[in-house]
């Protein structure tokens, strides 16, 4: 009877370790860089395809992804010369570097983030 309990625990632990390994395969990131797709009142949409596909191996589907980047009153926004600007100054097609408020595991299903800093690159 002890042997059966041991097997059950071993299977449970093996499954648990496998799940931890799978969960640990993605690498959280602290920033993204991409083109602005749209500018809204309190957010911008930034192409984050590279961030979504960062851990994929093999053939990657040619699907583009946009992240919704929330902009708060504390978000610092600067132009390509380092001058402070507002969200209203951002334009579709500009390339920006977005520093995230918190490290995030951006994926196909997790693309809503908050910026602490947005820098226009070009």
Nearest to 31 by CA among 63, 59, 54: 54
**CA neighbours within 13 Å on the CB side: how many for 101?**
13
Query: Is the model's pLDDT at 12 over the cut of 70?
Result: no
pLDDT band for position 17 (50/70/90)? very low
pLDDT digits over 81-115, tens only?
Answer: 999 999 999 999 999 999 999 999 999 999 999 99
pTM of the model: 0.75
pLDDT of amino acid 65: 94
Residue of 55 and 117 predicted with greater confidence: 117
For residues 13-35, give the mean pLDDT.
66
Query: 28-120 domain in CATH 1.10.760.10?
Result: no
């Amino acid at each position: 009877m002890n042997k059966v309990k041991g097997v059950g625990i071993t299977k449970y632990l093996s499954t648990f370790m496998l799940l931890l390994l799978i969960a640990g395969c993605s690498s959280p990131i602290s920033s993204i860089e991409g083109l602005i797709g749209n500018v809204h009142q309190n957010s911008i949409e930034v192409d984050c395809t590279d961030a979504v596909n960062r851990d994929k191996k093999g053939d990657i589907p040619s699907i583009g992804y946009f992240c919704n980047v929330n902009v708060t009153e504390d978000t610092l926004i600067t132009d390509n010369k380092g001058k402070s600007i507002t969200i209203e100054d951002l334009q579709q097609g500009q390339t920006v570097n977005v520093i995230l408020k918190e490290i995030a595991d951006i994926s196909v299903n997790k693309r809503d983030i908050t910026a602490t800093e947005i820098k226009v690159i070009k």
